[in-house]
């Protein structure tokens, strides 16, 4: 079985298309878990109207963000493999079936498809790493070949989710999770199928991010990954350009000349970043 975990917050315009795209998958053995994160629009009403026996909707009591919502959905999942899906995205009919077939055929911990970026003006572009099987070293390097670094286009063995703590931050929360997972995976299979449709809108968190916010959250992400390798595989840390990436983020933050007004919306993250940086410098 494959468990599809959908996070939904203020996606009334798209959640029905999202859920129905999973219902119509060529693979039947699927459970659908939607974690509704206290939407202020009509998302809940639309979910209540969808009649699908495989659908389970979990309602958060407070708005906790995508990372914590994913964690809740994963904990409720029963499938051997899990696919994550944002409530404003959708899948092509054969996407899960093709990834699942490869997972079974190769006994893979992770199977990655491609991604198609869909813009509001109707333009689109597909990205894929082609077909490949990666074992041992090189799994992370191959991941970085993806022009769009993404977690949701991957079928991941459920047991692997239990080995990596989830990031509760509300921005760039998937990268510090997927990179450790790739390191821990015994085998990663890439499939030339860009059937994950990623909706890029002007309202998306990534699109709205300021240079300062982007640099700050990337620095925290890099520090998370460095900490993982310091604890689990120091030799791999020497081989990967993670420290250089962290240093670049710090330089970008410095170039922003952050003011109190810029920092205020991200006060907790700024304090976390400052404390971590001081600890590394001491």
Write down the pLDDT at residue 143: 85
- In the sheet where 196-200 sits, what is the strand order? 90-91, 196-200, 115-119, 124-127
Q: Which long-range contacts (CB under 8 A, 24 or more apart) does 94-98 make?
A: 94/25, 94/26, 94/193, 94/195, 95/25, 95/193, 95/195, 95/196, 96/2, 96/4, 96/22, 96/25, 96/26, 96/27, 96/30, 96/155, 97/25, 97/26, 97/27, 98/191, 98/193, 98/195
Q: Please, how many CA atoms are within 13 Å of residue 103, restricted to the half-sphere of its CB?
A: 24
Write down the pLDDT at residue 87: 98
Write down the pLDDT at residue 203: 55
* CATH annotation of 2-202: 3.90.550.10
C-beta separation of 188 from 110 below 8 A: yes
Which contiguous run of DSSP H or E holds residue 85? strand 81-86
Residues 6+ apart with CB under 8 A from 90: 14, 17, 18, 21, 197, 199
Residues 6+ apart with CB under 8 A from 45: 12
Please list the pLDDT of the chain residue by residue as tens digits (282 residues): 999 999 999 999 999 999 999 999 999 999 999 999 999 999 999 999 999 999 999 999 999 999 999 999 999 999 999 999 999 999 999 999 999 999 999 999 999 999 999 998 889 999 888 899 999 878 888 888 776 678 999 999 999 999 998 888 888 888 999 999 999 999 999 999 999 999 987 555 554 458 999 999 999 999 999 999 999 999 999 888 889 999 999 999 999 999 999 999 999 999 999 999 999 988
How many other CB atoms are found less than 10 A from the CB of residue 126?
Answer: 15
The token pair at 192 is: 């030339």
Write down the pLDDT at residue 204: 54
Q: Where in the chain is the domain with CATH 3.90.550.10?
A: 2-202
Write down the pLDDT at residue 132: 93
What pTM value is reported for the model? 0.91
Give Dmax over CA atoms of the chain in angstroms: 57
The token pair at 6 is: 């959908």
Radius of gyration, CA atoms only, the chain? 19
Alpha carbon 41 to chain centroid distance?
24
**Could you tell me which of 69, 71, 34 has the C-alpha nearest to residue 49?**
34
Write down the pLDDT at residue 208: 45
**Could you tell me which of 241, 250, 244 has the C-alpha nearest to residue 220?**
250
Write down the pLDDT at residue 173: 87
87/56 Cα distance (integer angstroms): 14
């Amino acid at each position: 079985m494959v468990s599809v975990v959908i996070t939904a917050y203020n996606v009334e315009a798209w959640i029905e298309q999202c859920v129905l795209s999973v219902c119509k998958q060529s693979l039947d053995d699927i459970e659908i878990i939607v974690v509704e994160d206290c939407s202020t629009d009509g998302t809940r009403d639309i979910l209540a109207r969808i009649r699908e026996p495989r659908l389970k909707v979990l309602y958060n009591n407070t708005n906790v963000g995508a990372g914590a919502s994913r964690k809740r959905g994963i904990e409720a999942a029963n499938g051997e493999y899990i696919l994550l899906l944002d409530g404003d995205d959708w899948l092509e009919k054969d996407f899960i079936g093709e990834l699942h077939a490869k997972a079974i055929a190769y006994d893979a911990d992770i199977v990655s498809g491609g991604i198609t970026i869909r813009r509001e003006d109707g333009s689109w572009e597909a990205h894929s790493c082609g077909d490949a099987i990666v074992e041992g070293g090189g799994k992370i390097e191959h991941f970085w070949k993806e022009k769009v670094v993404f977690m949701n286009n991957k079928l991941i063995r459920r047991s692997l989710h239990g080995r990596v703590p989830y990031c509760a931050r509300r921005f760039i929360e998937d990268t510090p999770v997927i990179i450790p997972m790739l390191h821990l995976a015994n085998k990663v299979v890439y499939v030339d199928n860009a059937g994950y449709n990623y909706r890029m809108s002007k309202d998306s968190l990534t699109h709205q991010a300021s240079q300062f916010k982007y640099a700050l959250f990337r620095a925290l992400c890099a520090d998370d990954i460095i900490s993982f390798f310091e604890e689990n595989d120091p030799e791999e840390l020497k081989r990967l350009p993670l420290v250089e990436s962290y240093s670049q983020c710090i330089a970008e933050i410095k170039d922003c000349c952050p003011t109190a007004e810029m920092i205020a919306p991200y006060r907790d993250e700024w304090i976390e970043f400052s404390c971590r940086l001081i600890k590394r410098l001491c």
